[in-house]
A = this chain, B = another copy of it.
Amino acid sequence: MHILVIGAGGMLGAKLLIRLCAEGILGDKKITRITRYDAIIPPPPPTSTFPIETFVGDLSATGEAEKLIAIKPDVIFHLAAIVSGEAEKDFEKGYRINLDATRILFEVIRKVGDGYKPKVIFTSSIAVFGAPFPEAIGDEFFTTPLTSYGTQKAIDELLLNDYSRRGFFDGVALRMPTVCVRPGKPNLAASGFFSNIIREPLAGKEAILPVSDTVRHWHVSPRAAVQFLIQTATLNTEKLGNRRTLTLPGLSCTVAEQIEALRKVAGEDAVKLIRRESDETIAKIVSGWPRNFAPQRALALGFRAESSFEDIIRVHIEDELTPRKR
CB nearest neighbor in B for A162: B151
Interface pick from A65-73, A138-146, A222-230: A138-146
Whether B144 contacts A151 by the Cβ 8 Å rule is no
Q: How many residues of A contact B (CB 8 A)?
A: 23
Indicate whether A146 sits within 8 Å of B159 (C-beta atoms), given known contacts A140-B141, A141-B140, A242-B130: no
- Apart from A142-B142, A144-B242, 4 more pairs, CB < 8 Å: A141-B142, A143-B158, A144-B243, A148-B162
Which chain B residue has the least Cβ–Cβ distance from A111? Answer: B92
Chain B, residue nearest A244 (CB): B144
From B140, B151, B158, B243, give the contact of A161 (CB < 8 A). Answer: B151
Q: State the CA gap A145–B244 with chains docked (Å).
A: 11
Q: What 0/1 readout, one digit per residue, does chain A (89-127) give for beta carbons within 8 Å of chain B?
A: 001000000000000000000100000000000000000
Residues in chain B near residue A143, CB distance under 8 A: 142-143, 158
Task: Name 5 interchain pairs, CB-CB below 8 A, sorted by A.
Answer: A141-B142, A142-B143, A144-B243, A148-B162, A148-B166
Alpha-carbon gap, A162 to B140, bound state (A): 21
* Bound-state Cα–Cα, A77 to B34, Å: 49
Least CB separation from A130: chain B residue? B242
Question: Is A233 located at the chain interface by the 8 A CB criterion?
Answer: no
A290 CB, min distance to chain B CBs, angstroms? 14
Tell me the complex Cα distance, A148–B161, Å. Answer: 10
- Is there a chain B Cβ closer than 8 Å to A314's Cβ? no
Residue A165 interfacial (CB < 8 Å) = yes
**Known contacts A140-B141, A166-B91: does B146 contact A242 (CB below 8 Å)?**
yes
Q: Is A155 an interface residue (CB 8 A)?
A: yes
Cβ contact within 8 Å between B154 and A158 = yes
Q: Are A158 and B151 in contact (CB under 8 A)?
A: yes
Closest chain-B Cβ to A315's Cβ sits at a distance in Å of: 31
Q: Which residues of B contact A242 (CB under 8 A)?
A: 130, 144, 146
| Nearest-CB residue, chain B, relative to A131 | B242
In the complex, which residues of chain B have a beta carbon less than 8 angstroms from the beta carbon of A139? 142
Indicate which residue in B146, B158, B166 contacts A155 across the interface (CB closer than 8 Å).
B158
- When C-beta atoms are compared, the residue in chain B nearest to A243 turns out to be B144
Asked whether B158 lies within 8 Å of A145 as measured between CB atoms, the reply is yes
Q: Identify which of residues 159-184 in chain A touch chain B, using a CB-to-CB cut-off of 8 Å.
A: 159, 161-162, 165-166
CA A166 to CA B264, docked complex, whole Å: 44
Q: A154 vs B159: C-alpha distance in the bound complex, in angstroms?
A: 10
A140 → B minimal CB distance (Å): 5
Q: Which residues of B contact A155 (CB under 8 A)?
A: 155, 158-159
CB atoms of B145 and A162 under 8 A apart: yes
Query: Which residue from chain B places its CB closest to the CB of A91 in the assembled complex?
Result: B166
In contact, B145 and A142 (Cβ under 8 angstroms): no
Chain B residues lying within 8 Å of A140, measured Cβ to Cβ, are 141-142
